[in-house]
Structure 1
């Protein structure tokens, strides 16, 4: 559903990504791990269209989207979240979701349609999908960090994406909220969406991922099933530290 083929990204004299090839199928979750500075977020930015690669190409459902903007890719069925929460804090949870639904409409000017064009049932349906039913009237700034992460997921799902990129969705989330977010992401994958997730919580990655991709110094060090990757001596030396 989404793939990188020989992707490289150079900034000045620094090679941030070097010949990275990775695919994510519909209904598959690929966990992307690696040390800080390995190029994980850079890869997500290239896949989503925030950054254009210096070499290689990005595909979405077989089509080359390397030259498409992030907006075009979003309208083609690609959604993403960011490391830092990106919400309208002065609006309610329901209003944030409503804007996401309006933005996913067929017209580029759809966000400026009347708010009543989005059924309240659609907003509540998305909030319930991320276990936030009944919070439509709560201001985004008053939500817990875990609640904010769930709201971002609801907004990402508003466009009914075929592929979803998650950049550290558990960052800063309390331990009690991690399990809830894990279950939600697993349900999204099980619904047939292709999910690529950068995450530092190893127990989350190993418990959720169908495959794990390890980036190291901008290159793909290993790709495989979780038990295969954790048993790889190169991965242990570069990232995990000791045999698991």
Structure 2
């Protein structure tokens, strides 16, 4: 019901200037925007309808404020929940403040980034990403982030339970623009997109392998039997998630 107040909460750049905000959108809302009709405002505490707003007006306010000061961002909860790794535990209702990590209530996720610029090498065919070294770094980082889950102290017992129950970690990258500069690849080119897809696909694959190896060494994450992986061959992971772009 207070969505418009939330959208404009950072209109004054002196307010809430230390973190980002995002608005969660659903398929029903987008359909209401397309149809230029009102949609119901539901109180999340009791599930009751508290009124209606024109979807176009709300969407326009989001776009205007995002253009004006960069906030709010938007997230699509329907799409996020299609990839919810532990749906038997609950639905994902939100993300962390920057929006890159969808989490269940009380979850936490350790993040880490590999500096890709350190993995540019040259051979007879020119500059390329050294995947042998990158793969070694991915495996090291996955172990490091998994260790951090157990070493970390959490402010609430419920957070400890969720963090160690799902063992979500998020390994990502930085320095991609520097890689493109070194390799003389235009940032806005199809070649840059292809390289990004190639690198992150490699990191995702290697991180999955590293998580499987850790599960063999230690054990699968506690909530594995409540996850989408329980009936999948070759998917006995130590961590419910392994990658993100922070």
TM tier, smaller: under 0.3
TM-score normalised over the length of structure 2: 0.26
Q: Identify, as 1 or 2, the structure richer in helix.
A: 2
TM-score by length of 1: 0.26
Higher relative contact order (CA 8 A, sep 6+): 1
Larger Rg, first or second structure (1 or 2): 2
